[in-house]
Structure 1
C-alpha cells in the first residue's frame, strides 16, 4: 500500500513563501510577459531549424542559438520593413487622391446624382433627425479634407511610435528566445521535475501547450494573411491599392464577428455611390464567398484537434482572449481553454473510481 504523503508545517511555510515571492516576480516581469510568451511560442515554431543547427554544431550551443535568432530576424523583420514601406507609399497616394477628389468638387458631383438625391429625400422624410442637405454634407467633408495634412502628421507619428515599440519588444523577445533555445533541455527537465504530476501527465500537458501554441499562431496569422491576400487581390481588380487595403483586411480579420467587413462594406458602398455598380457587386460576392469562407474554413481547420476543442469553443476562446488580453489574446485564449480541457481530462482519469461510485449512488 502506498504511503500517504503529509506536509509538515515548515513545508507549508516554504510553499506559501514560494507562492508569495513567485507572485512578486510576476509583478516585476508583468510589463514584459507578452514578449516572454511570444519568445516561448516562436521557440516552438523555429525549433526544427535550431535543432538542425544544433546537430551541425553540437559543441557550440551559443552560436547555434544566435544563428537561429538571426535567421528569425531575416524571416520576420526584413519582409515586414519592405511591406511597411510599400503600405506607407500606397496609403499616402490613396489619401492624396481622396483629398484631390474632394477639393476638385467630387462630393458635389456625387450628391448631384439623381438616385442620391432621391435617397436623401427619403431619409429626410422618414428618419427622425435634422434635414440632410448636400451642401452641408459637402462642407463637412471639405473641412475634413482640409485638415488632412495635420491628421496625416498625427497618424505618421503614431505609426512611428508603434514601430519603435514593436522593435523594442522584438529585441526583448529575441533576447529571451536566445536563452530558451540554448537551454531548452534544462528548462524542460526543470519543469518536469517541479511539476507534481506523473511523467505521462507531464507529457500530455507539455504536448498540448506546444500543439495549441502552434495552432493558435498558425490559425490566427495564416488566416489573416490568406484573407488579406484574397481581399487585396479583389481591391486591386476594382482599382484600389492592393497591398495597403489587403493589409488593412488582414488586420481587420482579427476583429471577431465584424472582421474584414469593416473594410469591404464601406468600399462596396463607395463603388455604388460613384456608379461602379458591377464592381460593387463583384466585391460583395467575392468578399462573402471567398474572403469570408477563408475565415470559416481555414481557421477552424488549423486549430482543430486541440484538446478536443470544437469550433464553438475555439470561437469563444478567440473572442474572450481578444477582449481580455487584446491581440495577444488570440494566443492566450485558446491556450487557456486547451490547458483547462487537458487538466479536466486528467481530473476525470485521476478520480475515475470516485466519480463512477458517485454515478452509481
Structure 2
C-alpha cells in the first residue's frame, strides 16, 4: 500500500527554505568539497580495516577511528613525501644531463642519422607546415630541456610554498574521515530517514554510489600506480631515471587512448636512433605487453567491479569528469553517472505501467 502525501502551502515554504539553506551550505563548503569527497571515498576503502580494528577494540569508537586515520597517514603521507623528494631530485639530474647532451652535440649527431633525415624529408613533402630541419629541432630541444628544468624547480618551489594549504587540505580530509568512520552507522541511518524513497530504493542508490566510488579509485589510481611501477622498472633497466619516468607514466595513464605510450614510445625511438636497438626492442615489447596489458585488463576489471555500468559509460564518465573537474573528476564522473543510471532504473520501475501504456499507444 503506497502512502499518500498531500503537500500544503506551508510544506512548500519549508521545502523552498530548505533548498536555499542547502545551497548556502554548499557555497560554504565548496572550496573544500574535494577534501570531503576524498574523505568519503577513503572511508569506503578503509572501512573493512576500520571494522577489524573495532573488533579488537570494542566500545571505543573514537580510539578506533583515530587509529584508522593514523594508519592512513603512515601508509599515504610518509611514502608520498619521500617519493616526491626522490622524483624532484631525479628530474633535476635528468634535465641537467639532457641539456649537457644537447650542448655537447648529441642531438645534432642524432639529427644527422640517415633515418632521421629521410623522415624529415618525407614530412616536409607531405605536411604544409614549412621546412622542418635538424637545426630547428635541436634548438627546440635545447629550449625544452632548459625550460623543463626550470619548470621542475618552479613546481617544487610552488609545492613548498603551498605546503600550508596542502597540509590544511590533508588535515581537513582526515578530520572528515574520522567522523565518517566513527559515525558510519548513524550517518547511513540518517540518510535512510531523510531521503524520501523506499528503503530498497535508498539502499540501491547508496550501494551503487559506494561501489562506483570504490571502483573509481581502484580502477583509476591503482591502475596508474601499477602502470607507473611497471614502466619505471623498464626505464631503470634501459638506463633511464626509473622513479621519475615511472611517475610520469602514472600521470600519463590518466590520458585516454594514449596513456603511457606518450612516454615509452619516444623513449624507444630515442634508443633505436642512438643504436641501442636491443633496449629499444625490449622497451617496446615491455610497453605493449606488460604496461598495455595492465591498462587493457586490470582497469576494466577494477572499474566495473560489481557496478552495473558498462565499460563505455565508465570511459565517458572518466573523460568528462577529468575535463570538467580536473583530477578529482576521475571520482566525480563515475559517481554522477552511476547515480543517474540508478535513478533511470528506478524511474522505469516506478512508472512501468505508464511507460508500457505509452509504448503501446
TM score, norm. by length of structure 2? 0.91
Q: SS in structure 1 opposite 2:28?
A: helix
Cα distance in 2 for residues equivalent to 1:279 and 1:166: 40
Give the Cα separation in 2 of the matches to 1:72 and 1:13. Answer: 44
| 1:60-71 equivalent positions in 2, closer than 5 A | 60-71=60-71
Residue of structure 2 in register with 1:267 after alignment: 267
Structure 2 CA distance for partners of 1:297 and 1:133, relative to 1, 3 Å: closer
CA distance in 2, matches of 1:56, 1:192: 29
User: Is contact 1:99–1:148 with CA below 8 Å preserved after alignment?
Assistant: no
What secondary structure does 2:240 align onto?
coil
- Aligned mates of 2:131, 2:255 — CA distance in 1: 34
Runs of 4+ residues over 6 Å off in structure 1: none
2: distance between equivalents of 1:329 and 1:148?
27
Q: Distance in 1 between matches of 2:314 and 2:28?
A: 31
Q: In the alignment, what sits opposite 1:20?
A: 20
Aligned to 2:94: 94
Residues 91, 152 of structure 2: 8 Å contact kept: no
Shift of 1:290: 2.3
> Which ranges of structure 1 fall in alignment gaps of 5 or more residues?
none
Structure 1 length normalisation: TM-score? 0.91
1:12-38 alpha-carbon deviations (Å, 9 max, x no partner): 100011001100110111111110011
Structure-2 change in CA distance of 1:109 and 1:7 (3 Å): same
Matches within 5 A, 1:154-169: 154-161=154-161, 165-169=165-169
Q: Which position in structure 1 is the counterpart of 2:314?
A: 314
Give distance in 2, aligned partners of 1:348 and 1:170. Answer: 41
Q: Tell me, what secondary structure is at the counterpart of 2:327? A: helix
In 2, distance between residues paired with 1:147 and 1:258? 24
Structure 1 stretch 162-171 or stretch 26-35: which is displaced more?
Answer: 162-171
1:359 shift after superposition: 3.4
**For residues 360 and 205 of structure 1, what CA distance do their matches in structure 2 show?**
30
The CA deviation at 1:133 is 4.4
Q: Following TM superposition, by how much is the alpha carbon of 1:109 offset from its aligned partner in structure 2, in angstroms?
A: 2.3
Q: Deviations over 1:49-68 (max 9, x none)?
A: 22223333333222211111
- CA deviations on 1:80-114 (whole Å, 9 max, x unpaired) are 12222222222222222112212222123223334
* Bigger shift: residues 347-356 or 256-265: 347-356
Deviates more, 1:5-14 or 1:229-238: 229-238
Q: 1:47: Cα distance to partner?
A: 1.1
Q: Distance in 1 between matches of 2:44 and 2:85?
A: 30
The CA RMSD over aligned residues, in Å, is: 2.3
Matched, 1:258 2:258: yes
**CA distance in 1: counterparts of 2:252 and 2:132, whole angstroms:** 31
Whether the 8 Å contact between 1:233 and 1:246 is mirrored in structure 2 is yes
Instruction: Name 1:112's counterpart in structure 2.
Output: 112
Aligned ranges for residues 131-146 of structure 1 at < 5 Å?
131-142=131-142, 145=145
Distance 1:291 1:148, change over 3 A: closer
Report if aligned partners of 1:268, 1:283 keep a CA contact under 8 Å in 2. yes
Distance in 1, matches of 2:242 and 2:149, equals: 23
Counterpart of 1:213?
Answer: 213
Equivalent residues of 1:65, 1:182 under 8 A apart: yes
1:327 is paired with a residue of what secondary structure? coil
Q: Distance in 2 between matches of 1:146 and 1:213?
A: 41
Q: Give the Cα separation in 2 of the matches to 1:210 and 1:261.
A: 32
1:231 equivalent to 2:231? Answer yes
SS for the counterpart of 1:169 is helix
Cα distance change, pair 350–131 in 1 and its aligned pair in 2 (3 A) = closer
Give the Cα–Cα distance (whole angstroms) in 2 for the partners of residues 206 and 139 of structure 1.
Answer: 56
Question: Residue 302 in 1 paired to residue 302 in 2?
Answer: yes
